A and B are shown apart, each in its own frame.
Chain A
Amino acid sequence: MKKIISIAGFVAAAALIGFSLFMDLSDSVNLYLGDIELRGPLLILGIVALVIGIYSLPIDKANNKIINILFLIPVLLTFVVTVIVPFILGIFYSLTNWNGVGFTKFVGLENYVTMFQQNDYIYSFVVTFLFTVVNMICVNVVAFGLALLCSSKIKGTNVYRAVYFVPNLIGGIVLGYVWQFIFNKVFIMISPESMLSNPNSAFIAIVIVSTWQYSGYIMMIYVTGLQTIPKDVLEASGIDGASPLTTLLKIKIPMIANTFTVCIFLTLINSFKQFDLNLSITGGAPTRMLAGKAVQSTEFLALNIYNTAITKTNYAMGQTKAVIFFIVLAIVSLTQVALSKKKEVEL
């Protein structure tokens, strides 16, 4: 039985794949069903038949290896096609004059040199770093405060946790438009001009929304950390007459130092990558005059890359900026790994 399925699978696969490849290589032969070209669907069917054929091969000895390969292929194939190949191509394209489709010449490091001579890019770099640090501090301070509140002895902490967590469920794009409305139509009732029309207050506006959105999530990580502190340690400090503040500073914070590391790096990386809120709240606006030139005052790096490549269709430059973006994130992540390795050794 297995033998028949296997052979049928292989025959069908050979026919389907062979035929679709033949249609691909010869321009004249092509099958259509209505408007749909059948070449692609036939190829997919062929691959499915091939997998069935291999899976039901009646060999017991080699079976383990076949299963291993079949089970690895889906993740590996998609991963290589969507991450590894584009990543390698991307680094290569940053060294050429790529226009999104092809390139005509290899320019070496020219893109990198030009990039660092552009004021708007340098500005975007600085403002992103500033945002990353300010946002990291705001989110962690608020989140830790909320975590202490939510693990205190008050009633209904579960409800509060859920409520504080809600903003984090909804995508930054939709939330950003809602907040744009709040800044432009609601807050304007108490101030003469919208926060989003001034470069400095627009920056603060993004920090506010980002803290509002993200702190409930980080709070839950702190809550989980605080729950790992043994009850008897806290009781002992209470009996010894330690004030709540002393308990917090001398016991709680040192005991969850690891949680702090996790939260700080998580917020650093996510703030640096901020794109959705940036696009939907300000879209980079308003402009600021810098050395006689107008730059987008709240355009963070992710949005700068997007605008360079997609809006201004300068693909090679956008890709070059993206490579630098990657390098910065890799350095931050490696620092985190190194730090937590060092801590493990100390323990």
Chain B
Amino acid sequence: MRAERIRNNAFEIGAIIIGLVMLSPFVLVVLNMMKTSAKIVTNPIGLPDDLSQVATNFKNVITNSNFNYWNSFASSLIVTIFSLVLVTVCASMAAWVLCRNKTKWSGFIFMLLVAAMVIPFQVVMLPLLSTFRSIQDFTGIQFLQSYGGLIFAYIGFGGSMSVFILHGFVKGIPVELEEAAAIDGCSRGKTFFTVIFPLLRPVQMTILILNGIWIWNDFLLPSLMLGLNGAHKTLPVAVTSFVGSYVKQWDLILSAAFLAMIPIVILFLFAQKHIIKGMVEGSIK
């Protein structure tokens, strides 16, 4: 028993040390965003001596025309929330229809959605831009440089995986529930929204988290569609644009990085169990 206790103590110390190593980059960000550029260069690991510097740095970053924190934060929020709501609703509807209709067509569409999960973004990104541009020219609907187009693209890219995960779950819901609702005079559309949709909640949570982390952090798609120096920027795009114009200004870059990271860290503190569970379940399926 004694040997086991010693081993457990050693494990515990190891776990703590690894935890500190894992978090050390974040600690360095917090330490250095409170310093002036000159102090960072002379001593990047020392404690800051003047805490008020952080206010100056934040003010510089937030009002900077490349970073424009509140605008970028709002853009990220708008794009993420609208995409998530629409992907979840649309994918639930599609998964339900595909699961309940055993026709050749529904089988084909489902296979197509699943097979497309193999396609990497890189192979479609260039023609995607030209396709969007053509549709924009023809219909007059703004696709590029607009939130709407970006959200449209996220539904397209996020849809296939979401339908795949939901499809497996819908299978487990007994058809009798829908039949009972139909006998009670409920139309098919209404049956879905009042009976089936609420039952999908646990798996919708998984989809929200998986898509949410991806969309919030995504850089390539918004950078191509909105442009690195466009009128709207999401946070990752704003950080890149900011770093590009302030090379080596580490006090400002680290402040910007902190401001970009903090929303999701706060979210994680409140919902860590759901987030970890959602991301792990999504990957295994």
Which residues of A approach B to under 8 Å, CB–CB?
Answer: 20, 23-24, 37, 39-41, 43-44, 55, 63-64, 67-68, 70-72, 74-76, 78-87, 89-90, 93, 100-101, 146, 149-150, 152-155, 160-175, 177-179, 181-182, 185-186, 189, 212, 216-217, 220-221, 224, 262, 266, 273, 275-276, 279-280, 302, 305-306, 309-310, 315, 318-319, 322-323, 325-326, 329-330, 333
Q: SS class of chain B's interface: helix, strand, loop or mixed?
A: helix
Query: Which residue of chain A is the closest to B9 with respect to CB atoms?
Result: A154
Given the contacts A152-B11, A189-B44, A329-B120, A81 and B254 also touching, CB distance less than 8 Å: no
Q: Give complex CA distance A186, B254 in Å.
A: 13
Known contacts A24-B139, A83-B160, A326-B122; can you find 15 more A-B pairs with CB under 8 A? A24-B140, A55-B189, A71-B94, A72-B93, A82-B153, A100-B129, A160-B19, A170-B217, A171-B218, A175-B25, A178-B25, A181-B250, A279-B240, A302-B122, A318-B126
Within 8 A of A (CB), among B7-24: 8, 11-12, 14-15, 18-19, 22-23
Query: Which residue of chain A is the closest to B100 with respect to CB atoms?
Result: A68
Given the contacts A68-B101, A326-B123, A74 and B93 also touching, CB distance less than 8 Å: yes
B236–A217 CB distance below 8 A: no
User: Can you list 24 A-B contacts with CB-CB less than 8 angstroms, sorted by A residue number?
Assistant: A37-B140, A71-B96, A72-B94, A86-B127, A90-B123, A93-B126, A162-B272, A163-B22, A164-B19, A165-B272, A170-B264, A170-B265, A173-B240, A181-B250, A212-B22, A220-B276, A220-B279, A266-B283, A273-B120, A280-B240, A305-B122, A306-B220, A325-B123, A326-B119
A189–B45 CB distance below 8 A: yes
Given the contacts A67-B189, A178-B25, A181-B253, A75 and B119 also touching, CB distance less than 8 Å: no
Query: Which residue of chain A is the closest to B159 with respect to CB atoms?
Result: A75
A43–B139 CB distance below 8 A: yes
Contacts of B276 in A (CB 8 A): 161-162, 165, 220
**Contact code string B91-120 (vs A, CB < 8 Å = 1, else 0):** 101101110010000000100110010111
Which of B65-73, B130-138, B199-207 is found at the contact surface with chain A? B130-138
Given the contacts A20-B140, A81-B135, A333-B118, A221 and B130 also touching, CB distance less than 8 Å: no
Contacts of A160 in B (CB 8 A): 15, 18-19
A182–B28 CB distance below 8 A: yes
Which 6 A-B pairs give the minimum distances between C-beta atoms? A82-B156, A171-B217, A39-B140, A40-B141, A78-B156, A40-B140
Q: Give complex CA distance A87, B114 in Å.
A: 15
Within 8 A of A (CB), among B38-87: 40-41, 44-45, 86
A101–B91 CB distance below 8 A: no
Does B208 interact with chain A (Cβ within 8 Å)? no
B28–A173 CB distance below 8 A: no
Contacts of B124 in A (CB 8 A): 82-83, 86-87, 90
Query: Which residue of chain A is the closest to B11 with respect to CB atoms?
Result: A154
A101–B261 CB distance below 8 A: no
Q: Give complex CA distance A174, B123 in Å.
A: 24
Q: Within the complex, what minimum Cβ distance (angstroms) separates A220 from chain B?
A: 5
Given the contacts A154-B15, A178-B257, A87 and B119 also touching, CB distance less than 8 Å: yes
Q: Give complex CA distance A318, B279 in Å.
A: 32
Contacts of B90 in A (CB 8 A): 74-75, 78
Contacts of B45 in A (CB 8 A): 186, 189
B97–A68 CB distance below 8 A: yes
Pick from B97, B116, B284: contact of A221, CB under 8 Å: B284
Contacts of A189 in B (CB 8 A): 44-45
Pick from A64, A70, A90: contact of B126, CB under 8 Å: A90
Q: Chain B: interface residue count, which band?
A: 35 or more
**Contact code string B211-240 (vs A, CB < 8 Å = 1, else 0):** 001001111100010000000000110011
Contacts of B265 in A (CB 8 A): 166, 169-170
Count chain B CB atoms within 10 A of each CB in A74, A155, A163 and give the residue with the most.
A74
A43–B141 CB distance below 8 A: yes
Query: Which residue of chain A is the closest to B140 with respect to CB atoms?
Result: A39
B131–A85 CB distance below 8 A: yes
A166–B23 CB distance below 8 A: yes
Contacts of B239 in A (CB 8 A): 173-174, 177
A164–B22 CB distance below 8 A: yes
Q: Within the complex, what minimum Cβ distance (angstroms) separates A8 from chain B?
A: 19
Contacts of B257 in A (CB 8 A): 174, 177-178
Does B155 interact with chain A (Cβ within 8 Å)? yes
Query: Which residue of chain A is the closest to B138 with respect to CB atoms?
Result: A24
Q: Give complex CA distance A110, B283 in Å.
A: 39
Query: Which residue of chain B is the closest to A321 with respect to CB atoms?
Result: B122
Contacts of A166 in B (CB 8 A): 22-23, 26, 265, 268
Does B29 interact with chain A (Cβ within 8 Å)? yes
B130–A185 CB distance below 8 A: no
B219–A276 CB distance below 8 A: yes
Q: Give complex CA distance A155, B11 in Å.
A: 10
Q: Within the complex, what minimum Cβ distance (angstroms) separates B97 from chain A?
A: 5
Count chain B CB atoms within 10 A of each CB in A37, A75, A80 and give the residue with the most.
A75
